[in-house]
Amino acid sequence: MASISSWGGAEPMQRQIIIDTDPGLDDAVAILFALAASEELELLGLVAVAGNLPLAQTERNARRVCALAGRPEIPVYAGCARPLMHALVTAERIHNDPRLDAVLPEPEIPLQTQHGVDFLIDILRSAEPHTITVCALGPLTNIAMALVKAPTLIEKLRELVIMGGAGFELGNVTPAAEFNIHVDPHAAVIVVDSGVPITMIPLDVTHRLVTTEPRLAALRALPNRCGTAVAALLAAFERNRRAKFGSRAKALHDPAVIGYLLRPDLYGGREVNVAIETKSPLTIGMTVVDWWGVTGRKPNVRFMNTVDADGFYDLLTERLARLP
C-alpha cells in the first residue's frame, strides 16, 4: 500500500483541529476518538451542521458527546440549518435512535451564541498560517459559507480532511452519490475548487473498515463508560442500516478521518482532480474522480482509497481506553 503523509509536512507535537459535524452515530464515535487523542490533537471547537439530523439535534448531540467524555469545556457552535440551494435531506431513520438516550447523557454546557460559520472565520483569521486542520464529518455547508465570506481563510488552513465522496465505490444514498456530498453538492463544489489542501476519505476507504464481532467485542470489553458507549453506538449503527446495506452496514465512516490524522501511514491514495456533479438528477452529488488523469485537470484533492483496517481498529480501541 502506498502511504501518503499529510499535506502539511512534518507533524507537530499537537495538531490543532476543528470538527464540523452532524452527529449522528458514527460522528459521535469520531468525536470521542478525537477527544481520546488529546496528546496529539487539540480540539478547538465543534461546529454542528444539518445533515444526518436537523441542526437542533446535531448541536445537542455534539454537546452530549462532550458530556460523555468528561470534556464540558469544548465549545459547541450551531452552523447552517439547511444546504445552500436545496431542501435538507436527512438520515433520521438511521441516526435518530431512541436507544441513544441510554448512552449519551444530557448536555452539561449551553450552546455557544456565536454562529458556527462566524466562529470558523474568527478562529482561522486569528491563527498563524497553515496551522489549523478542519475535519468535515458532514455536509460541507458551513465550510463553504466560511470560504465565501472570507476567501483568505485558505491561507490559514493546514488541511481540510473530508469524510465524503466515492471513487470506484458506488454511492450510499443514491446509486452515484455518497450522503455528505449529496446533501449539499453546491457547497462541495465551492470547497473542492477553493484551493484549500484537501484530503478526502471516501467510501472506498470506509467500506473497508468493517466492525466485525471481534472488533466490537474489544470495544465492549474496555473498562470505561466510553468504550461501552461506542460499542452500543456502533451496534445501533449496524442494526439500523442492516436491511438496506447488508454486510456493508458494519462499515465505519466518520472516525476514519481521525484515524488518518493520527496514523496517515495506515492510508494510501494519490493526488487527483475531483469534480462534483450538481445538475444531473440521476447523478447529483457524485464525486467524479479523475484517478487516471485523463482530463488533464489539475489535482485538487488527496484522495484515499486503501486503509489498514486492523491497524485502524487497534488504534481506535487503544485510544478509546484513555477516556473515562
What are the catalytic residues?
253
- 304 to each of 63, 105, 311, how far by Cα in Å? 30, 35, 16
Specify the residue for cell string 466515492: 166
Cα separation, 182 vs 50, whole angstroms: 13
CB atoms within 10 A of CB 109: 14
Could you tell me if residue 246 is left (phi over 0), alpha (psi between -120 and 50 degrees) or otherwise beta? Answer: left
| Cβ proximity of 261 and 168 under 8 Å | no
